[in-house]
Chains A and B, each alone.
Chain A
């Protein structure tokens, strides 16, 4: 605002600036309102839930809705399942990605270009097409309703391998040469030279993978068949079934359990994540 005072800004410019902010505030409100509605509903008493016009802010905050929601299903167990499958999935996928990224960036091999095209082709195949065959394979392996079954089919890496390969290619040749002279093999060079240098990229990739694994619904839904193996999104979705017979305030409270970790990760690292997405898409 100080800028406007100091410089003689035309009134047309002022109006344009006002309209820009008005439009953006409106857009942010449209996006933010459902989140706010989720939160206020989760804090309402049943009497204030079923009322129209709605109460914007509950007269008394019913924090016990969260306790009721937590007890309505084994949410502690869902949390463990989600944390175990998401973190182990991220670790495995990054390992797989780093190994193949390094190979495509640094190791000479006669069929490297052809294999790179194979990797490219994999990106075009949607996971939704693979549901039935993956289920059949897992059944043969005896992995249905296990952590392995949830995790392993989704730790192959195309996007991550590309991203890390791009980064490894930017590391100066002389560093790789130095590593070789010091008697480091490819494996050591990857772990002690390339990966530490790529830490920011690996970090962004890890956050991105964590969020997408945490949020995934369709595959864990298919591959789990007992309540104690469900991940948070699957467990949350099941709450809507009639057997639970819980109100919207509890559904919203339970939704918040599921959302909190991703929203925390997002708002801590939002700049990094948004810029990573933009950069990835523009290059790709």
Chain B
């Protein structure tokens, strides 16, 4: 085989002409090979950004042949739209709660699992399993668990001597219920990512710390946490963007209610576009969502250099 390879290199160097014809052939092949992907990305990923921006300056019901140009009116409406602000606030609360609680629990579980032990694979598989479970089915069973009369959760709440709230029917409790489900279904993914991060930390650090008489608690805060900061940072960004994209659980469990107390930005886009046919306004909302996600993504690349300690 080595002989053959040499032969190729030799002949390739020899003639410039053949090289250029080869370049042409390669260029054609490259374009042909990547064409399907770039066509699809162009039509269904890049074009929508431009078209959303365009539609956001119009009033349109998606059916009428004519769109009415209204300038920035959709954006002005948004500033005065209490439901928009409510959905932004809900999205923020969801993001904050999920980041702090879910990532915290995931880190705790990952440190417990980060050793040789019996049942390790089983624990990991069970805790991870909601990640791949159909979100509609998750929302279905949790809707039933939160049932204030016959739900499973009432058993545990009564056991500690409290009265079960009317979870999904209560303006105060509906968003916490959504947060619980999002944490339940996402904690396993974060745990697995933390586990991968933990295996990258050399045991030598812990051995050295032990020699110096450090307690496990000190080891955790002085070694594990700082060295895991790239993973924590990655999971924070993924979780925040995940909260910004939340739809399924809200759509099934509460439909944004009661009184928009669980409405989130994507669900509000869906309502405007596909239930009320306010296509222009929904497009303006989508543009704002896109801008927020872009800012977070760009901030991520900037900040990861400053905050993350290796």
Interface check A75, CB cutoff 8 A: no
Note all chain A residues with C-beta closer than 8 A to B10.
none
Q: Is the CB of A103 within 8 A of B33?
A: yes
CA distance A21 to B297 in the complex (A): 38
Note all chain B residues with C-beta closer than 8 A to A258.
134, 136-137
Note all chain A residues with C-beta closer than 8 A to B105.
27
Interface check A122, CB cutoff 8 A: yes
Interface check B286, CB cutoff 8 A: yes
- Chain B proximity of A211: nearest CB distance (Å): 5
Interface check A271, CB cutoff 8 A: yes
Looking across the interface, which residue of chain A has its beta carbon closest to that of B54?
A133
CA distance A122 to B48 in the complex (A): 12
Looking across the interface, which residue of chain A has its beta carbon closest to that of B140?
A255
**A122-B45 CB under 8 A given contacts A24-B113, A129-B52, A129-B286:** yes
CA distance A265 to B155 in the complex (A): 33
Q: Which bracket fits the contact residues of A?
A: 35 or more
Interface check A196, CB cutoff 8 A: no
Among candidates A51, A161, A278, residue contacting B195 with C-beta atoms closer than 8 Å: A278
- Chain A proximity of B65: nearest CB distance (Å): 12
Note all chain A residues with C-beta closer than 8 A to B189.
277
Q: Is the CB of A122 within 8 A of B46?
A: yes
Looking across the interface, which residue of chain A has its beta carbon closest to that of B39?
A156
Note all chain A residues with C-beta closer than 8 A to B293.
124, 126, 129
Q: Which of A32, A115, A180, A233 has the most B CB atoms < 10 Å from its CB?
A: A233
Contact surface of B with A, Cβ cutoff 8 Å: 1-2, 4-5, 7-8, 23, 26-27, 29-31, 33-34, 36-38, 40-41, 43-49, 51-52, 55, 62, 105, 108-109, 112-113, 117-119, 121-138, 140-142, 144-145, 147, 149-150, 152, 154-155, 158, 184, 187-189, 192-193, 195-197, 200, 231, 234, 241, 244-245, 247-248, 251-252, 266, 269-270, 273-274, 279, 282-283, 286-287, 289-290, 293-294, 297
Contact surface of A with B, Cβ cutoff 8 Å: 17, 20-21, 23-24, 27-28, 30-35, 37-38, 41, 49-54, 95-97, 99-100, 102-104, 107-110, 112, 115, 118-119, 122, 124-137, 152-158, 161, 173-174, 177-178, 180-181, 185-187, 211, 214-215, 217-218, 221-222, 232-234, 236-237, 240, 248, 251-252, 255-256, 258-259, 262-263, 265-267, 270-271, 273-274, 277-279, 281-282
